[in-house]
Structure formats: structure tokens, C-alpha cells
Amino acid sequence: NILINYTFDELYATIIIKDEGIGISEEQMQKLFKINEDVTLDVSRKSKTKGTGLGLILAKQLLDLNKGNIYIDSEIGKGTEVKIKMPLFQKFN
């Protein structure tokens, strides 16, 4: 299952995406946003999912440019939660 939710406050919109998948190991979590690391998902587990992590790197860079952030929390066997926090308004100088 994948659950998607959102919240708003005066300054930020937050999108929360949560799954009940296999989770991400602590070792892989440390590599998620690093382009110079081997971030291919561990296919030795029961997952048929493959990826390089490039999408997460690009998403983080875009969020950083727009004063947003991305947070990932995961536990093996319980799934992963991703929170994307974006400012509702941005001041331009």
C-alpha cells in the first residue's frame, strides 16, 4: 500500500508519502542523496525494484533551490516515509 497525504500551515506545504514495502537499510539511507556513491537498490532482497537514486538527487536539488526540503525515514520490513516540505511563498530580491 502507498498512502499520500498533505498538510499546510502559514508558511509551508508538506507532502507525505508512505509505503509498507521492504524498507531501506541504514547503509543505503546514507547514500540516497549522493551522486558519487553506488546507490543501486539492494536486489538481493525480495524486491523486484531497481533504481539508481538519481530522481531523489534531482528532487533534493530542486527543493534546495526553492528553500524546501525532503526527509526520508525507513525501517527494514516496515516501509518508508518521505516528507517533502515546500514554502508556499518565496521572496525575490
Please give the chain's pLDDT, 93 residues, in tens: 899 999 999 999 999 999 999 999 998 888 888 876 555 555 455 556 666 668 888 999 999 999 999 999 999 999 999 999 999 986 666
Q: How far apart are CA 20 and CA 2, in angstroms?
A: 7
Q: Which domains does the chain have, with CATH numbers?
A: 2-87 (3.30.565.10)
Please work out, in degrees rounded to the nearest 5, the angle formed at the alpha carbon of residue 26 by the alpha carbons of 21 and 27.
115
